[in-house]
């Protein structure tokens, strides 16, 4: 592995050109007063470096909202391959990198998901450091450092970027910039450490997570679920914005002549009423409260058994995007822990 290097900010344009040389570059772009979205960018000026969380997480590049898996025609069918296209995702924060690491594990577990993995293979992830706001709790979920899913990770140390290199693709790219980057010196290392110390101190949530596993089991009948259920709209907003939610439906979309059509995968949500419904109209999660607590359990405990990790990375998107204003994981967990009083649940 290459030693970390330093790129002066005034050379970022060249760095960006190298990224563009690899394929289509996507980065956070400001799309309204308060929101950001990963979009294709053609120049560094378009990038919103200040963006904290985008509306949708970067999973959309590897696991699109809708994709065709199989096409059938005239009594036969064939697999549809994902488009051959190299994607560079710039500005991915630690929580989102952690989430991609989680999705990598899930989609590569047997039988592996060829569509996701092919898209991941044709990609380069460039991470970028960030400063938490009041909804961030990635540090409580062990998702506050670069993790394993990146190729390059940029820490903003003021005048320059301190770049960690993790993959062969990352090494190649840095080599092509040899004239502009320099090996990180002790001073750069100091600035790097300084930044991460400052960042650690900036978290304000005060969430403790060591007992989540038993907490979610023991508090399964806590009245907070019913109180939240009464206000939950079952809109399902919390799931597409979640960087690790990946549940899907498989549907056939037939052509007008019914002789040809496609088998399509679409994002689904466990918050929709029919998600756990089976034949005979039996529903294992019939009420919004049932579905909400299922989702909480799944995020904070659910994959401990199946994969050995939790699937919440503390990005705060669900809290920010909940139209009912109830989906505040930090506050809910504190109430379950008895560290905060539940006065008819008001986060």
Partner 1 sequence: MNLKSPFLPQKSVIRSVVPMTHDNYLFEFRDSVGHFASCKPGQFVELWVPGVGEAPISVCSGSIDGNLQLLIRKVGRVTSALFDMQEGDWVGLRGPYGQGFPVEKYKGKDVCMVAGGLGVAPMRSLWQYILDHREDYGNLILIYGMRHSIDLLFRAEFKQLLRRHDIDVFIAAEEIVGPDLPPMSVQLGRVTDMVRLSAVDAGYEVAICGPPVMYKYVVQELEKKSVPDSRIWLSLERHMKCGIGKCGHCFIGGEFTCKEGPVFQLSELRMLPEVIECEGGAH
Query: Which x/- pattern over 229-258 shows residues binding partner 1 (rule: CB under 8 A)?
Result: -----------------xxxxxxx-x---x
CA distance 298 to 291: 10
Residue 170 CB burial class (10 angstroms; 0-12, 13-18, ≥19): buried
Task: Answer yes or no whether residue 144 interacts with partner 1 by CB under 8 A.
Answer: no
Rounded CA-CA distance 181/8 in Å is 7
Looking only at residues 72 through 131 of this chain, which bind partner 1 when binding is defined by CB under 8 A? 72, 75, 77, 79, 106-107, 109, 111-115, 117-118, 121
Using CB under 8 A as the binding rule, whether residue 151 contacts partner 1 is answered as no
Which of 261, 288, 314, 316 is the binder for partner 1 (CB under 8 A)? 261
Task: In angstroms, give the least distance from the CB of 198 to partner 1.
Answer: 38
Q: Is 214 in the site for partner 1 (CB under 8 A)?
A: no
Interaction between residue 20 and partner 1 (CB under 8 A): no
Any residues with CB less than 8 A from the CB of 143 and at least 6 apart, and which? Answer: 94, 95, 98, 99, 313, 314, 315
Q: With CB under 8 A, what is the number of residues at the site for partner 1?
A: 56
CA distance 327 to 347: 8
Minimum CB separation of residue 302 from partner 1 in Å reads: 6
Q: Which is nearer to partner 1, 127 or 261 (CB)?
A: 261
Q: How far apart are CA 57 and CA 93, in angstroms?
A: 10
Tell me, residue by residue from 266 to 285, as one string, x for binding to partner 1 by CB under 8 A and - for no binding.
--x-x----xxxxxxxxxxx
Residue nearer to partner 1 on the CB measure, 14 or 106: 106
Helices (H), the chain: 12-22, 94-108, 114-121, 168-176, 186-201, 212-218, 224-231, 288-297, 303-306, 317-321, 329-336
Q: What is the largest CA-CA distance in the chain?
A: 69
3 state DSSP class of 19: helix
Whether the Cβ atoms of residue 275 and residue 285 lie closer than 8 Å to each other: yes
In the 8-state DSSP scheme, what is residue 54? B
One residue of 168, 194, 220, 346 binding partner 1 per CB under 8 A: 220
Q: Which is nearer to partner 1, 162 or 296 (CB)?
A: 296
The answer to the question of residue 223 lying near partner 1 (CB under 8 A) is: no
> CB 50 → partner 1: shortest distance, Å?
34
Q: How far is the CB of 52 from partner 1 (least distance, A)?
A: 28
Contact 234, 297 (CB under 8 A): no
52 vs 300 by CB, closer to partner 1 = 300
Nearer to partner 1, 30 or 263 (CB): 263
Nearest in space to 51 (alpha carbons), one of 72, 74, 35: 35
Complex with partner 1: residue 1 or 247, whichever CB lies closer = 247
Residues that bind partner 1 (CB under 8 A): 69-70, 72, 75, 77, 79, 106-107, 109, 111-115, 117-118, 121, 217, 220, 246-252, 254, 258, 261, 263, 265, 268, 270, 275-287, 290, 294, 297-298, 301-306
């Amino acid at each position: 592995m290459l030693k970390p290097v330093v790129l002066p900010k005034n050379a970022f344009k060249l760095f960006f050109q190298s990224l563009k040389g690899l394929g289509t570059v996507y980065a956070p772009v400001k799309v309204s007063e308060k929101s950001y979205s990963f979009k294709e960018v053609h120049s560094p000026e378009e990038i919103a470096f200040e963006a904290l969380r985008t509306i949708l997480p970067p999973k959309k590049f590897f696991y699109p909202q809708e994709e065709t898996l199989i096409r059938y025609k005239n009594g036969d069918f064939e697999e549809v391959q994902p488009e051959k296209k190299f994607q560079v995702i710039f500005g991915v924060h630690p929580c989102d990198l952690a989430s991609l690491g989680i999705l990598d594990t899930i989609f590569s577990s047997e039988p592996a998901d060829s569509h996701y993995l092919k898209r991941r293979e044709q990609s380069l992830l460039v991470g970028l450091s960030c400063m938490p706001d009041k909804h961030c709790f990635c540090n409580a979920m062990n998702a506050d450092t670069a993790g394993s899913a990146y190729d390059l990770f940029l820490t903003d140390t003021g005048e320059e970027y301190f770049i960690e290199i993790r993959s062969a693709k990352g090494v190649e790219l840095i080599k092509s910039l040899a004239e502009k980057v320099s090996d990180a010196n002790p001073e750069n290392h100091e600035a790097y450490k300084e930044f991460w110390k400052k960042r650690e101190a900036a978290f304000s949530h005060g969430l403790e997570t060591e007992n989540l596993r038993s907490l979610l089991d023991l508090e399964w009948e806590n009245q907070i679920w019913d109180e939240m259920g009464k206000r939950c709209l079952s809109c399902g907003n919390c799931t597409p914005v979640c960087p690790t939610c990946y549940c899907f439906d498989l549907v056939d979309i037939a052509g007008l002549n019914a002789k040809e059509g496609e088998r399509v995968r679409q994002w689904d949500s466990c918050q929709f009423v029919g998600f756990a419904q089976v034949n005979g109209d039996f529903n294992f999660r019939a009420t919004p409260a049932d579905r909400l607590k299922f989702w909480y359990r799944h995020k904070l405990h659910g994959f401990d058994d199946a994969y050995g990790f939790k699937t919440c990375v503390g990005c705060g998107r669900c809290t920010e995007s909940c139209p009912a204003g109830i989906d505040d994981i930090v506050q809910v967990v504190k109430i379950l822990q008895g560290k905060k009083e539940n006065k008819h649940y008001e986060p």
